[in-house]
Amino acid sequence: MRPLRADARDNRARILAAAEDVFGQSPNASTDEVAKLAEVGIATVFRHFPTKVELLEAVLTDRLERLRDRAADLSRDDDAGAAFFGFFTQVVSESASKLAIAEALSAAGTVAGEAAKQAGAGMREAFGVLLDRAQQAGAVRRDAGFPEVYALLVGCSRGATATGLTPEARGRMLGLVYDGLRTGSTS
């Protein structure tokens, strides 16, 4: 499978971007809307993504990979605590304005497509590394397991988005959660 022609690759990217936009705003949007926004014919969308599900998965995969890359970058940061909380904050902040990332985060567990699954696993793994390092550095309490911390990441994103939190309130919400994560409960 040799690389796509230049124009085709451009179109693929345009479609993916359009899909991110469209599905980010209303997850049930039609494929036509994506085509309109991308300024291509409907058939072009289907040439690049043979079914709607595959398009959705591509959007999802794309997002997850970007998150994973960011987490991976941060995992090389010296200050493990700053890295962990910085990532957490960034994800939740962006979700506030991009419903779709939150959807992606939650869908990550439920989706069928192979690529999306792998991207989800990769993202969770990278986040797990951030958490581990933060715990070893003493920045996050040791008895916080991955599943619940991940659920908190997803949940905070969703909650902030769904209730239309102001940036200030969002900051305070994260402050509460971070206090909980840091609390030297027993350890």
Q: How far is the CB of 7 from a second copy (least distance, A)?
A: 16
* Of 60, 80, 91, 105, the one binding a second copy by CB under 8 A: 105
Which of 111, 67, 74, 116 has the alpha carbon at shortest distance from 93?
Answer: 67
Beta-carbon contacts of 49 under 8 Å, excluding residues fewer than 6 positions away, are 15, 55, 58
Cα separation, 158 vs 94, in Å, equals 11
Report if residue 8 touches a second copy, rule: CB under 8 A. no
Q: Of 14-33, which residues contact DNA (CB under 7 A)?
A: 30-32
Q: From DNA, a second copy, none, which one binds at residue 30 (CB under 5 to 8 Å depending on kind)?
A: DNA
Is 104 or 174 the residue whose CB approaches DNA more closely? 104
**Of the listed pieces 3-11, 32-40, 126-134, 155-163, which binds a second copy according to CB under 8 A?**
155-163
Beta-carbon contacts of 27 under 8 Å, excluding residues fewer than 6 positions away, are 99, 100, 103
Rg of the chain (C-alpha set): 18
Is 77 or 94 the residue whose CB approaches a second copy more closely? 94
Is 17 or 165 the residue whose CB approaches DNA more closely? 17
Is 27 or 167 the residue whose CB approaches DNA more closely? 27
Q: Where does residue 80 rank: exposed (0-12), middle (13-18), buried (19+ CB within 10 A)?
A: buried
Which of 71, 65, 148, 70 has the alpha carbon at shortest distance from 108?
Answer: 65
Residues forming contacts to a second copy in the complex (CB under 8 A) are 28, 105-107, 109-110, 143-145, 147-166, 169-170, 172-173, 175-181, 183, 185
